Amino acid sequence: MEWPIYLDYAATTPMDPRVAAVLGQYLGQNGFFGNASSSTHVLGRAAARAVESAREHVAALLDADPREIVWTSGATEANNLALFGVMRACARKGRHLVTSQTEHKAVLDVCRRLEREGCAVTYLAPEPDGLIPPERVAAALRPDTVLASLMHVNNETGVVQDLAAIGAITRSRGILLHVDAAQSAGKLPLDLQTLPVDLLSLSAHKLYGPKGIGALYIRQRPNRVRLEPLLYGGGQERGLRAGTLPTHQIAAMGEAFRIAGENMVVEQARIRELRDRLWQGLAGLGEVELNGHPERNVAGILNVSFVGIAAEALLAAMPEIAVATGSACTSAGGEPSHVLRAMGRDPFQARGAVRFSLGRFTTVEEIDHAIAAVRAAVNRLRELSPLWELRRRGLDQRAVNWAAP
């Protein structure tokens, strides 16, 4: 089987060779494999230096203080630590949290659990283009609200929320703002010296680093954010996240973030050109719907629905193209995207959506090959589709019950 053209960078990215080289330096008998907590010998001290150097690289990408970076196993754990940590630590102040219906399951599932613990959660509906209006956030805040949690870039549609405006509202009310930045770090500027964000979740494998490592930014000034830890035992990470630090993964994440900081502007401009080329090639088919905001979007994500085509059928018709029908964490379940349903898409549109996501190693040749493959598959499937025939006859194919879960 030929290796597929990979257009699923929003799910995970291949590790950059430069990052893999750093990771390898901290594995095996001839590497710096020591425990970063073992300060009595050279291998432990070398590991500790690598951990702190990586912390500095991650902080530099965010214009943050290295002491504000706490290592986690990924953005999912960072989201859990932020939400559970704040709501449990601030229980006496209030038990209300505001989030949106289009968040990642790593936030939504935590909110459901918090509701079972007695917290109240407001789930904001987005506009049809995926944006959460700041005034909608303001209207949802209550005297007992202690936290708002909104992702910066949506993992399915690429829509970019206005963090500055939303953060200004929460900051003025003394409410903490948590942001899931797994899809935006290293792709959009994040200056936490000026951006009114209090907690921010990060992932290495979305930025050409290894899986299994991430971080949570926790603002220290002017007022330190208080969190209740999820893990106890050992006192690592200033007592906020116990457990032996995976030096190899941390060093690799630091290198991935260092590279991203150096190349972000040029790299994202190139990816934007490729995304526009892909959209123009697909839009020429006709009856192709863009899911998301036409302007407020990240460079590497394009989510579209092909009228008359089920996404699963399209993916099966072009196995040489690696794309997704939604988020990687939920696509295996076969349910219509909760993100697109929240944006007002009917089941037909949601089940027909395909997410193309581009990245560092995507080439013009791959995009052109993908356009040709998609166009051929769509035209072939439309010829066979009774739904498309209904469309051509002017009937409303969305009345067909095929899309019902």
Catalytic residue set: 329
Instruction: Return the residue matching tokens 């303001």.
Output: 138
Q: Which amino acid is at 260?
A: A
Largest CA distance in the chain: 78
Neighbours of 314 (CB within 10 A): 20
User: How many other β-carbons are positioned within 10 Å of the β-carbon of residue 292?
Assistant: 26
Cα four-point dihedral sign 12, 15, 19, 20: positive
Least Cα distance to 147 among 74, 206, 226, 78 occurs for 226
Q: Directed axis angle between helix 247-283 and helix 364-384, to 10°? A: 60
